[in-house]
Amino acid sequence: MNLNSIIRLKITGNCNRKCFFCHEEGGMSYLNDIKYCNDLDIFIKKITEEFNAKTIAITGGEPLLNPNIQEIFKYLSEIDNIEGISLTTNGTISKSINFWRKLSKYKLKKVNISIPDIINNKEYDLLNNQIKIIKILNKLNIQANINIVIFNDKVFTIHVIETLLKHKDKIKFSITLLPNLNNYCYGISISEEIINDLKLKKIEICDNNFTSNIKTTYSLNGNIIHIKETKKDGILKEIKGLCDSCSVRNECNEGFYAIRIEKKGSDYFARTCILRNDIETSININNFFNSNTFHILKKYYKTNNK
């Protein structure tokens, strides 16, 4: 199942870590924990229908800090259009197999575990906890993927890849390398060096027609390594009428990546840009389907959904 989703539900702004590589998806400190309610339920059902979205990505902050997470999964799993849900976590919070089993019952299909591109002695305890989580996911047939944001040079990143692959006889997972959005070109250049140094064999390219999510899949001695980009041939995927007149266009390394649903105060908003947080790009869900932004996105989706 392709779990590249155009709908991302940011269920909390809280996190138990302060990772130097985190771009915080446009800011986190102002976000409140999402709790499922009637307005949110109606909105998600309608937006998945309008954009024919089959999957939803749960992000944060650290999603496991939201005490309502099981309830959220339960409600999402009951939406007819939704076939699968993914979750992105830092993997530092221990949860029982029963917790993960419930989420699996509620259509959790994939877990992304984010780690730095350097593992030192202080990080090994965290790595051991992440490995325990992956073992549980393997038992429940939930896909496990490790996200590595490229922040350092190729030596550090290759060290992390090789450290992780030493555990492949005990656990199953894929690895995804992501460029640091604060230094995008550097991250892409390091990815290219890693491809050459490790002699990665290209398997396929998945270019999402709607979002700026380009994923190239490689094989390393039978192990799967994905490399993500947000630019095709160095060019951002922009939306005419929304991105082309943007005042921070020259600072953007993401383009249109997803519709992010987040809670500010007691209200829920649909957000379309991590750099901007204005009336065009952060819209109350009660007004979203009457907004110019929605009609632009709808037209863009029809044009690019091939």
Q: Is 255 left (phi over 0), alpha (psi -120 to 50) or beta?
A: left
In the predicted structure, residue 183 carries a pLDDT above the cut 80:
yes
Residue 33, amino acid:
D
Residue 113, amino acid:
I
How many CB atoms neighbour CB 275 within 10 A?
16
**253: nearest Cα among 51, 25, 60, 87:** 25
Q: Beta strands 55-59 and 201-207: pairing type?
A: unpaired
**Which domains are delineated in the chain?**
7-304 (3.20.20.70)
Rounded CA-CA distance 49/167 in Å is 41
C-beta separation of 236 from 212 below 8 A: yes
In the predicted structure, residue 1 carries a pLDDT above the cut 60:
no
- To the question of pTM greater than 0.85 for the whole model, the response is yes
Q: Which residues contact 243 (CB under 8 A, 6 or more apart)?
A: 236, 249, 252, 255, 256
Could you tell me the pLDDT band of residue 232, with boundaries at 50, 70 and 90?
Answer: confident
**pLDDT for the residue numbered 24:** 64
Could you tell me the pLDDT band of residue 120, with boundaries at 50, 70 and 90?
Answer: low
**pLDDT for the residue numbered 118:** 62
- Say whether 81 sits in a helix, a strand or coil: coil
**pLDDT for the residue numbered 111:** 98
∠ Cα 127 68 181 (to 5°): 50
pLDDT, one tens digit per residue, over 154-181 is 998 998 899 999 999 999 999 999 998 8
Of the listed ranges 18-27, 62-71, 186-195, 270-279, the one predicted with least confidence: 18-27
What sign for the dihedral angle of Cα 242, 246, 250, 251?
negative
Task: Provide, rounded to the nearest whole percent, the portion of the chain with pLDDT above 90.
Answer: 63
**144: nearest Cα among 156, 130, 155:** 130
**pLDDT for the residue numbered 195:** 97
Rounded CA-CA distance 196/190 in Å is 10
Residue 49, amino acid:
E
Could you tell me the pLDDT band of residue 246, with boundaries at 50, 70 and 90?
Answer: confident
C-beta separation of 218 from 225 below 8 A: yes
**pLDDT for the residue numbered 12:** 94
What average pLDDT does this structure show over 64-85? Answer: 95
C-beta separation of 82 from 56 below 8 A: yes
pLDDT, one tens digit per residue, over 131-154 is 999 999 999 999 999 999 998 889
Can you give the C-alpha Rg of the chain in angstroms?
Answer: 19
What sign for the dihedral angle of Cα 97, 103, 107, 108?
negative
